[in-house]
């Protein structure tokens, strides 16, 4: 518990900086932030952009899991009312392209087609092919004269995306490796709209918002933890993988329901935060361990389910780099509805299984949080989201401000211990059940330690601290 004093001191020191920053800001005619309202469409969060010389209003999904801004074009043959139905697309596969979700490049005098091919792939098998170009875009009243984006003239996605990840994830990288262009987020910095390539996501379905370049402290409940973005691939067990995704590492997972705590596992595991997914993606070992811990039933139609009432009070305790959060179990389930759209009282596990070696948590998870992403610092700020209509905006000038640092040193990356699952039969972390990372290091020997004594009701940090001492 060495860090409690440090935490407190950090907190005080940062609070002072924050006040100084607030006073400085008042002299500045530029806000250095852009605050935009989002629209929740079934757990997809849409942002309105105005594109081109004729100010076409286009709504796209805010996507932390990709890096291109793109719009479906009005002549996408998947559209029911497409003007250019050249490809044979069965009526089952057609989508309803409302004019607010597509862009007509020929109506904008300022659109420049770039000549570079665009080939995007998104969760749930969505494809998006087309071409890159540039045009003016206005967002929440801020005008950007020249922005790179793609127009997809062949996509089975209703919505385009506003990709807010690292440039290395641009789809052009997949086609012509030497074409890396300025992303929308970087363009906001280059045009002097914000100071850092950073943004804060508030996905409260009642009033979702994105704040570019700043943090709204009123939307935060409790400490804002500052976490390192981690690679999803380790090379030789060291922390040298390139940062590609918006990912943080998880080092503990348990399930709590009433007085029962089921430790699911601990170690090191990358978790990608993807605001554009309305489900989650877990490797098989996690799906198995969770379904066992929660006593999920398996349906012949290939999904896990449970009586909704059994998870209503349940929480997952998840620690990211030592920062511990309770996440309602309902954030990982969806109620099955009947033909009249009425709930059946049965909930399915909203998780897809993958061979990837990282977890992906979608918008249903992020709705619980205020998430700050700073791509210059390679940091994530994570706090519980607060219900609040008022604002207290702090521009991100350097660090994610006013943050509390969890106890990284021993737990976040050192040696990158392998994530091990808790074996309920023998009350031990099981090595056989453990997930094996691309390369293992000598420090990852976590087997057969008896953790029965701590597998009780959690008392926050100390519980995690005991687990850490067992894990490292």
Ligand X SMILES: *[C@@H]1O[C@H](CO)[C@@H](O)[C@H](O)[C@H]1NC(C)=O
Q: Which stretch binds ligand X (CB under 6 A): 121-129, 269-277, 375-383, 397-405?
A: 121-129
110 near ligand X, judged by CB under 6 A: no
Residue 360: how many CA atoms within 13 Å on its side-chain side? 25
Distance of alpha carbon 358 from alpha carbon 233, whole angstroms: 8
Report, in Å, the least distance between residue 461 CB and ligand X: 37
DSSP letter at 167? G
Give first-to-last CA distance, the chain, whole Å. 16
Q: How many residues bind ligand X (CB under 6 A)?
A: 40
**Of 84 and 344, which has the nearer Cβ to ligand X?**
84
**Of 184 and 463, which has the nearer Cβ to ligand X?**
184
153 near ligand X, judged by CB under 6 A: yes
Provide CB contacts within 8 A for 133, sequence distance 6+: 105, 111, 112, 113, 114, 148, 149, 150, 151
Report, in Å, the least distance between residue 335 CB and ligand X: 22
469 near ligand X, judged by CB under 6 A: no
Query: Site for ligand X (CB under 6 A): which residue of 7, 21, 127, 243?
Result: 127
Q: Which two tokens stand for residue 241?
A: 């993988």
Query: Site for ligand X (CB under 6 A): which residue of 53, 80, 242, 426?
Result: 80
Q: Which stretch binds ligand X (CB under 6 A): 168-176, 237-245, 362-370, 379-387?
A: 168-176
Q: Which two tokens stand for residue 300?
A: 């012949």
Sites for ligand X among residues 19-38 (CB under 6 A): 36-37
Query: Site for ligand X (CB under 6 A): which residue of 57, 378, 450, 469?
Result: 57
156 near ligand X, judged by CB under 6 A: yes
Answer left, alpha or beta for residue 213, where phi above 0 means left and psi between -120 and 50 means alpha: left
Contact present, 400 and 374 (Cβ < 8 Å): yes
DSSP letter at 445? -
81 near ligand X, judged by CB under 6 A: yes
Burial (CB count <10 Å: 0-12, 13-18, 19+), residue 10: middle
Query: Site for ligand X (CB under 6 A): which residue of 181, 305, 435, 468?
Result: 181
308 near ligand X, judged by CB under 6 A: no
What count of other Cβ atoms lies within 10 Å of the Cβ of residue 22?
13
Interface ranges with ligand X (CB under 6 A) = 36-37, 50, 55-57, 66, 77, 80-82, 84-89, 91, 93, 98, 114-116, 120-121, 124-127, 130-131, 140, 148, 153-154, 156, 169, 171, 174, 181
């Amino acid at each position: 518990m060495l860090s409690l004093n440090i935490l407190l001191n950090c907190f005080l020191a940062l609070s002072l900086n924050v006040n100084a920053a607030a006073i400085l800001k008042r002299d500045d005619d530029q806000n250095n932030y852009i605050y935009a309202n989002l629209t929740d469409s079934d757990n997809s969060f849409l942002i309105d952009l105005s594109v081109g010389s004729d100010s076409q209003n286009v709504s796209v999904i805010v996507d932390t899991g990709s890096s291109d801004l793109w719009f479906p074009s009005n002549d996408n043959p998947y559209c029911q009312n497409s003007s250019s139905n050249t490809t044979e697309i069965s009526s089952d596969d057609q989508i309803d392209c409302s004019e607010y979700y597509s862009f007509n490049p020929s109506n904008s005098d300022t659109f420049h087609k770039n000549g570079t091919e665009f080939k995007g792939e998104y969760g749930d098998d969505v494809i998006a092919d087309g071409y890159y170009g540039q045009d003016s875009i206005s967002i929440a009243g801020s005008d950007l004269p020249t922005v790179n984006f793609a127009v997809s003239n062949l996509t089975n996605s209703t919505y385009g995306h506003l990709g807010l990840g690292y440039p290395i994830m641009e789809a052009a990288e997949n086609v012509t490796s030497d074409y890396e262009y300025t992303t929308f987020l970087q363009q906001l910095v280059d045009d002097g709209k914000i100071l850092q390539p950073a943004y804060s996501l508030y996905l409260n379905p009642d009033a979702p918002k994105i704040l570019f370049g700043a943090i709204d402290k009123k939307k935060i409940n409790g400490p804002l933890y500052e976490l390192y973005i981690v690679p999803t691939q380790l090379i030789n067990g060291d922390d040298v993988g390139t940062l590609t995704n918006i990912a943080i590492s998880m080092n503990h997972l348990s399930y709590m329901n009433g007085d029962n705590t089921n430790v699911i596992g601990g170690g090191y595991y990358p978790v990608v935060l993807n605001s554009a997914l309305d489900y989650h993606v877990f490797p098989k070992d996690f799906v198995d361990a969770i379904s066992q811990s929660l006593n999920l039933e398996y349906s012949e139609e290939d999904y896990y389910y449970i009586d909704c009432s059994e998870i209503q009070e349940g929480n997952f305790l998840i620690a990211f780099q030592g920062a511990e959060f309770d996440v309602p179990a309902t954030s990982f389930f969806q109620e099955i509805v009947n033909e009249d759209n009425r709930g059946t009282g049965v909930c399915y596990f909203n998780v897809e299984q993958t061979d990837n070696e990282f977890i992906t948590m979608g918008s249903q998870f992020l709705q619980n949080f205020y998430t700050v992403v700073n791509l210059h610092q390679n940091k994530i700020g994570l706090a519980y989201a607060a219900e609040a209509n008022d604002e207290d905006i702090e521009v991100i000038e350097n660090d994610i401000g006013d943050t509390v640092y969890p106890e990284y040193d021993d737990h976040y990356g050192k040696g990158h211990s392998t994530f091990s699952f808790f074996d309920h039969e023998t009350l031990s972390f099981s090595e056989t059940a453990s997930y094996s990372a691309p390369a293992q290091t000598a420090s990852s020997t976590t087997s057969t330690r008896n953790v029965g004594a701590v597998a009780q009701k959690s008392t926050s940090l100390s519980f995690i601290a005991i687990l850490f001492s067992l894990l490292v």
